[in-house]
Structure formats: structure tokens, C-alpha cells
Chains A and B, each alone.
Chain A
Amino acid sequence: MSGRVLVGVKRVIDYAVKIRVKPDNSSVVTDGVKHSMNPFCEIAVEEAVKLKEKKLIKEVVAVSCGPQQAQETIRTALAMGADRGIHVEVTGKDYETLGPLQVSKIMAALAKKEDAQLVILGKQAIDDDCNQTGQMTAALLDWPQGTFASEVSFDGDKIKVVREIDGGLETIKIKTPAVVTADLRLNTPRYATLPNIMKAKKKKIANVKPADLGVDLTSRLEVVRVDEPPQRQAGVKVETVDDLVGKLKEAGTV
């Protein structure tokens, strides 16, 4: 086995920012807004780096798809301990319509090209909340998948994944090569310390175009309109339980 792990990292609007919709309702405002690495991608990077520190794998490669600024996100992954980066350049209209289908095609192509043993992704991105890229990537590669992972360990030539599901925790064993998506409780990502950021400057980021990977970026989706969530209406206070039941009946919910 190559001992190589591919980690996908996405540049998203920072979780603390107050999102505003553009006046033409076409999308959200991104200009001049603070961006950072998707929190679940951070957890994915942390897991990969941990595996390397335990000497269970040999190399961590961070991948990001997007315009020039995606390199900042890759640099953060390098500062956390990834060995090298791959920047898949996607700009303009292609970037606006870039979604899980396209990214999973890219990840699948890279996984084959880099002879990866494991692909770790965040379970979902906090901007589109799709929760699809990991699953699609595994399907395209015809690899097993361990999604919503809260624990990952190596068991011989297999990987044991504890998954967080609605009913509780499910433990599965999957063969490698495989795709794993990281859930919240998998680990606590380390801070990229300033000395590590300086060291990361020396690490390489390769530049690749989707065409080089033979990937077609055409989207099957069209965003028609973006709206803010409806304003929260004020509630009503009632005096007694009977009043409450009465009001619920009025609203037709009981």
C-alpha cells in the first residue's frame, strides 16, 4: 500500500460571519468577507496528520478546488502537518457552479493518480450543507465508505470506523482503499502555530487543471434564487395549559 492519504479541504465563509444575501438574490455576499477552512475539513486534516504521527500512514496530501485563494486553505493544511498540496484550479462560472458531483469526480481522479490508500473528507461543508462529496467519491471509485466517522482505527488491512447515526453508534470494518468522512467528535483540530506556518512555506503546492484530470465540470443544477430565512415571528405567552391547547387547536396543529 502506498501509505498515502488524500484530504480534501474547502474554503468557505467563516462560521462566525453574519451572512448577507446579495440584493439581486442570486447568491450570498462573498466579497471582502472573512473566509476560512471548513471546520469538518479541519477535523479531516487533523485525523490524517494524527495517523501519520502514529506512523500508520506515510504521506498526507491536501487538495482544494477553487480560485487562487484556495491556496490559503491548502497552506493552512500544510501548517497543520500535511506534507504537500494540490490546487485544482477552478475559476469564474465553473467555480460558481462547482458542487459535490464535480468535486467528487476530481477527488476520484486524483485518488487514482496519486495511488491513495485513503481519502478523508469533512462530512459536509458549512456553506452548502450537501453531505454528498464523500459518498459520491466512494461510488465513483467503487471503494467502501465510512461516513460520519467519530472514531477511525486500523485493524490489519482493514479500517474500523465508528459512525454516528440517528440511532446511536455503528461500528463497521471496511477494506482499503476507502473513503472516510469526518464528523464533529472525531478529534479536536490543532492550531496552525506561527512557526509551523513559516515551515509550511517550504512545502510544495502543485497546480492542476480539471481538464488535465479528464473531468467535465458541467453542472446539472441551476440556482434559481437565494433568500434569507424568514424573520422569526414573536411568540405568544399564555396563562394556562388550557389556553395553550386552545391556541394549538386554532392553529390546526392539534
Chain B
Amino acid sequence: FYCCGWLINFYMSYVITFLSSLMFVLQAEVFPYPEIGNEEVEEINQLVAPVERFFTEEVDSAKIDREAKIPPETLNGLKELGLFGIMVPEEYGGLGLSNTMYARLAEIISLDGSIAVTLAAHQAIGLKGILIAGNEAQKQKYLPKLASGEHIAAFCLTEPGSGSDAASIQTRATLSEDGKQYLLSGSKIWISNGAIADVMTVFARTEVDVDGVKKDKISAFIVERAYGGITSGKAEDKLGIRGSNTCEVSFDNVPVPVENVIGEVGSGFKVAMNILNSGRFSMGSSSAGMIKKLIELTAEYAATRKQFNKSLSEFGMIQEKFAMMALNAFVMESMAYLTAGMMDRPGLPDCSLEAAMVKVFSSEGGWICVSEALQVLGGLGYTKDYPYERYVRDCRILPIFEGTNEILRMYIALTGMQYAGKALTGKIKEMKKGNIGMVFGVVGKKLKSSLGGSVDYGLTGKDGVVHPSLAESAKKFEQNVSHVGSTVESLLYRYGKTIVDEQLILKRVADVMINLYAMTAVLSRASRSISIGLRNHDHEVLLANTFCSDAFFKNNYLMTQLQKHSPENNDANIKKIAREVLENRAYICSHPLERTF
């Protein structure tokens, strides 16, 4: 039994490592909900007012969508407002605002999808490389004109053969004989602002010397259209965000000075990932802003439209839609500002995991909400006389760009599991040898936790950080966390390294993690609202408890499906169906009307 005892401790320590990293990290950084100073709140309110006014009075979204173009006057208005350099430091001519403020402004800018994407492509990714990885000379040279909007930026990574698989890009930059410039050649596609950008961040393969061996590594370059050799293809005719310019950009031996390499030569992939990770969180606030607006518009209709002598708002299925929209907006806001608040902490903390979770939740939640909002309006919602169909079309891009949700789910699951994974890697082979003591160890531990050793991570109770009216939800959260710990551990034991290929499993793990982060965000936010007595905090408690209860059961079901030989899990059949369909590249059933006799 000494053997078993040791193994029980062994397992416990890894589970605890994973759990504690999840819980402790979560606790220390997410409670209390991030606060900004009074001065900053006043400043945000000041900044929001003219932007809101501009969008209500000067932006004709229907026209932008119809003509697939943002009028020059509107673009100029945006430049004058200062919206092209929101996060560029004041010393370079920008507004120097924090991530939190950027998220706040994103709520309003999202009222027009085309403008939102044009601005985001310019500053959230286009010039971000210079901002976070550029040297002083590059910043001085390029940021001022980019911040004022005199120059527009674009981010050129994706190629016809390289989308999600960004590391496989083929565009090449060869160093000239005199070592003074690179010659850049290749083709990029789906480039937002591709036709109007003056300054582009371009990613290309470069030959580097690694310990005497010549290797191909990706480097990031600042490329000016003025260098010559750059052609933009015709604008793509898109389903939504039609006013945002998207096109192919081709580079034909474009001379780029060596001073324009961002960061170190060969560090381009990391630069690209850092850029993309830093912009994602704002999708939470922009989706929330859009849903809040839709709630106002549709509620007006639901309250006045009558059928069967009752207004629509008296019918259960309509009410459900409004509750869903409110819940989604609440969760998205909470997650977005929690993440932004963490990112604004000194020391440039890495919130890429949290930002990815915000993006997945918000893109899918947003898509469902705009569809339901359209449904409330019925036939009217389907016509172009109303903006709902445009919101639906504009939203469809959200789960696709800035990292497809499929890729992000993989990232979330694998990163979240890496704590436990790292520790277990070497030991997996030993475990699979089928040592009896090990089996005892696993069984013993599972018995212990299933015997109802109650789970308590200190969120509730006397010194708890969660307000008592949220205690039940917090307990559900703690239960989920404990459950996920043991689920992850058993998955790693079952699959070892091959887990990276089990997408259907990783998808569920990611969904649980996203739900957990969402629960954390709403618990933290609602706790603060009650504690400081914000207006309508009772409603917040209601939203928080409802969401947590819903998420708790969803998580439990997902984790049930992850158990070994779970009858709730249809993955094997699903894969079989997919294989048979894809082999034949068609639906293979005989037609129901066919006869054999």
C-alpha cells in the first residue's frame, strides 16, 4: 500500500498543480473586478460622447453597405476624431489610451461593421507590430502619420496556401548582396485595407543562420507602398462588412531596407502571434455594444407589435430571446473588461488565453443573438429596409477571422491543459505499462473525491471574495473546476501526447474552459456591482446566477461525455459518418424512393 499511497500523492500533486494554477491565478487576478480611477471614468465618458454622436448622425451604414464603400468624408471625420491612433502613445501623436478605453470605444465603433473592421485592421493589427515590437527609430518614423490617419496600415500574413497554418507561408525575402535591403516576393490574400494601405506589416520567410546551419524562419517587415513593386487586386465582393476593403496584395521584388525588420530577423512568427493575441479581447466589447443596441431596437418593436391581441413581449418564446440577448451582452462585457483590466496591469501580462476565450464566446454569441433579433422582427427583419439583415451578414465574419474559432479552441484546450500535461509527459509511458499499483492509485483517488470530499477553494464564506448572494453560483463554479481537474488528468492518462489529434475531445475541454472563464467574469463583476451599489445590481445578480447555473449543467454534460466509454459520447460514430461521406465526397444514402425489386 506504500506504493499506492505514493501514487495517490503523485496524481494528487499534478491535479493540484493544474487546479491551483487555474484557481490561484484566477483568484489573484480576477477578484476584485478591475477598477479604473474616477478621472479615467470621466475621461472615458467624455471621449465616448462625440464618437457616439458621430456614428448616430454622420454614419450612413445602409449606404456604406449598399455601395460597398466608406465615403471619404466619413473616413476624414473618423481621422479628425482621432480614432486612427487610439492606443498609439501621445508622444507619437496618438491618444495613448489603455486597453480598457479601447474596448469602451469599440462598443460604439461596432455600430458600423465596415468601419469597425477598417479601423481594427489599421490599428489592432496593421500598426500593432511597430507598436509592440518596433524599435525607437521605426516608431518615430511611422507612428505619427499612422496615428493621424494620414497613412493607413494593413496586416499581411495570410496567403492562398496558408490560412490557419500561418507558419507555412511562402512569401520570401532575400537579403541583397550588399546586405542593405531585402527583396520581398509573394502573394497575400484576404488583406483588409489592402488597396488603401500605405504602410504594411508583411510576414515572409528569410534565411537565417542557426549555429552554422542555414534555416528558413519567418520575419516581420514594415513595407511602404512607395517602395514600388506592390499591386493590389480587385476588392472582394463579400457577404458582410462590405464597406471594408479586402483584396489580394502581391509583392514583386519589393526592396525593403534592413532597418525595417520588426524585432529580430527570424522572430516574425512570434511577432505575428503577439499582434493577433493583443487585439482579440475587444471583440467582447464590440459584440456586447452591438447586442445592447439590438435589444433597444427590437424591444421597441416587441412592445408595440400586437398579435392575438397581445403585444409580442408577452409571449414566452419572444421573452426568451430577450433574456438570451441580455445574458450574452452581460457575459461578453464582463469577460472583455476583465481581460482588458488584466492586460492594463503593469508588466505586460500575457492574457492570450483569456483573449482567445473572449473571442470564441463573443463571436458565436453575437452570431446567435443577431439571428434571434432578426427573428423577433419576422418578415420585416428579413428585408433591407431594416438593419437586422446587415447585422447578420456583418457578424458572420466574426467566427472566421482573427483566428478561426476551431483553431482558437485547440489553443485554449492545449494551453489550459499544458500545466498538467508538462508534468505528466515523461511519466505517461510508465503509467501505460499497466502497473497494478498505478491502477490502485487512480481508483483510490477517484474514490476519495467521489466520496464527496467537499470542494472549497475559498471563493465563498467568511473570507470569500464572492458576495453571499452569488454564493450558490460560486459553489457550482468550484465544483466544475474540481471536476475539470480530474477530467483533464484522466484524458491525459488515456491519450498521452496523441491528445493533440483528438479535436472533438479538445473542443469539449475548450468549451468547459470558456464557460469557466465566463463564470469567473460574471461572478467577479456582479460581486463588485453589489459591493459598491451600482444601479440595477439586483438584475446583475439575476443574470450572473442564471448564466452560472446554465453553464454549470452544460459543463457537467460536456465532462460526462469526456469520461471513458461514455454512452453520451457519439464521437466514434460521428467520425465514421464523416469518413464515409468524405471518402465519397457526397451524401451516400440511397434515395428513399429507390427500389431494389
Contacts and interface: CB of A to CB of B under 8 A. Distances in A.
A191 B95 contact: no
A193 B81 contact: yes
B474 to A, nearest CB: 29
Max chain B C-beta neighbours (<10 A), residue from A76, A79, A194, A198: A194
A201 B46 CA distance: 10
A45 to B, nearest CB: 14
A126 interface: no
B535 A194 contact: no
Given A72-B45, A191-B77, A198 B56 contact: no
A193 B46 contact: no
Given A32-B535, A191-B54, A75 B80 contact: no
Contact of B42 (A72, A194, A195): A72
A197 B53 contact: no
B50 A192 contact: yes
Nearest to A68: B42
Interface string A169-198: 000000000000000000000011111011
Interface residues of B, number: 21
B45 A191 contact: no
B62 interface: no
A130 B535 CA distance: 32
Contacts of A192: 46, 49-50
Nearest to B56: A16
Interface residues of A, number: 16
Given A32-B535, A72-B42, A194 B47 contact: yes
Contacts of A32: 535
Contact of B82 (A31, A75, A194): A194
A72 B81 contact: no
A54 to B, nearest CB: 21
Max chain B C-beta neighbours (<10 A), residue from A32, A76, A193, A197: A193
A36 interface: yes
B49 A36 contact: yes
B50 A193 contact: yes
A195 B95 CA distance: 6
A134 B50 CA distance: 27
Contact of A194 (B45, B53, B95): B95
A75 B46 contact: yes
A139 B429 CA distance: 95
Nearest to A18: B300
Say whether chain B's binding surface is mostly helix, strand, loop, or mixed.
helix
Interface string B165-190: 00000000000000000000000000
Nearest to A192: B50
A193 B45 contact: no
B88 to A, nearest CB: 11
Contact of B50 (A31, A191, A198): A191
A194 B43 contact: no
Interface string B69-109: 00000000100111100100010000110000000000000
Given A16-B56, A32-B535, A191 B80 contact: yes
B258 interface: no
Contacts of B49: 36, 76, 192
Interface string B35-48: 00000001101110
Contacts of B51: 194
A194 B82 CA distance: 5
A191 B49 CA distance: 10
A198 B89 CA distance: 12
A123 B45 CA distance: 27
Contact of A76 (B43, B46, B82): B46
B50 A197 contact: yes
B82 A193 contact: yes
A126 to B, nearest CB: 15
Contacts of B96: 198
Interface in A54-108: 72, 75-76, 79
Contacts of B45: 72
A72 to B, nearest CB: 7
A195 B46 CA distance: 11
A76 B46 CA distance: 7
A79 B80 contact: no
A143 B478 CA distance: 73
B92 to A, nearest CB: 12
Given A16-B56, A198-B95, A191 B81 contact: yes
Contacts of B77: 191
A198 B53 contact: no
A194 B56 contact: no
B47 A197 contact: yes
Contacts of A197: 43, 46-47, 50
Contacts of A193: 50, 80-82
Contact of B43 (A16, A191, A201): A201
A194 B54 CA distance: 12
A192 B77 CA distance: 11
A75 B53 CA distance: 16
A36 B48 CA distance: 12
A16 B90 CA distance: 33
A76 B96 CA distance: 19
A36 B52 CA distance: 12
A198 B90 contact: yes
Interface in A196-247: 197-198, 201
A191 B53 contact: yes
A193 B82 CA distance: 7
Contacts of A36: 49
Contacts of B56: 16
B76 to A, nearest CB: 11
Nearest to A196: B82
Given A32-B535, A194-B51, A72 B82 contact: no
A50 to B, nearest CB: 17
A27 B435 CA distance: 80
A32 B77 CA distance: 29
A197 B44 CA distance: 10
Contacts of A79: 46, 50
A126 B78 CA distance: 28
Nearest to B95: A194
Given A32-B535, A191-B77, A193-B81, A72 B46 contact: yes
Given A16-B56, A32-B535, A72-B45, A195 B82 contact: yes
A194 B90 contact: no
Contacts of A31: 535
Nearest to B94: A195
B589 to A, nearest CB: 56
A32 B50 CA distance: 19
Contact of B83 (A16, A194, A198, A201): A194
A195 B90 CA distance: 9
Interface in B534-576: 535
Contacts of A198: 82, 90, 95-96
A49 B45 CA distance: 23
Nearest to A71: B42
A76 B50 CA distance: 9
A192 to B, nearest CB: 5
16 contacts: A32-B535, A72-B45, A76-B46, A76-B49, A191-B54, A191-B81, A192-B46, A193-B80, A194-B50, A194-B51, A195-B95, A197-B43, A197-B46, A197-B50, A198-B82, A198-B96
Cβ-closest 6 pairs across A and B: A194-B82, A195-B82, A192-B50, A191-B50, A193-B81, A197-B46
Given A191-B81, A192-B49, A194-B81, 14 more contacts: A16-B56, A31-B535, A72-B42, A72-B45, A75-B42, A191-B77, A192-B46, A193-B50, A193-B80, A193-B81, A194-B47, A194-B50, A194-B82, A194-B95
